[in-house]
Amino acid sequence: MMKFFAVLAIAAVSAAGPAGAQSAIQAGLWETNDRTTMEGVQPMPATSRQVCLKESEAQLERLLFPSPEEMTQHGCKYEGGVKKPGVLQSSLSCPPTAEVAGVDATAEITFTQTSYEGLGQIVAKDKAGTTIKGSSTLSGKRIGDCPS
């Protein structure tokens, strides 16, 4: 459960709008890094992954959030988008279930065609009403072309 919670928390903080948002980035191989800290919870290791973005999916959102199907499956509600050039602001709310705590999160990501960085704030609340606050540091950069 904790592993899924960590993934959901990171996804919630990283969440962004639909692919129609004006957050075009350069296609290619990207490396993303996320570090999340929750009050009173054993520190979670930073996560790093590589993602290949094709021309048709070269949007910042593709690096930062689960598929729309996964968001719908968890009953999440998203608001946000690019408020000014190079800055993506978002908020996400996912209700608690029997297995997973609910999450309310906000994030502000500054980005260019080849990199991004930002901070997110999380409030997680389970069905029993226990609340945990946390924060995430998010970053990524284009490291080259996708492998053939």
Rg, the chain, Cα only: 15
- Encode 85-146 in three state secondary structure: CCEEEEEEEECCCCCCCEEEEEEEEEECCCEEEEEEEEEEECCCCCEEEEEEEEEEEEEECC
Please, what is the average pLDDT of the chain? 82
**What is the pTM (predicted TM-score) of this model?**
0.76
In the structure, what pLDDT confidence band is assigned to residue 22 with cuts at 50, 70 and 90? low
Q: Which domain holds residue 25?
A: 2-144
Q: Tell me the H-state helices in 29-78.
A: 60-64, 68-73
- Check whether 21 has a pLDDT greater than 70: no
The per-residue pLDDT for range 43-95, each reduced to its tens digit, is 888 999 999 999 988 888 778 776 677 788 889 888 877 778 899 888 889 99
Work out how many domains the chain is built from and give that number.
Answer: 1
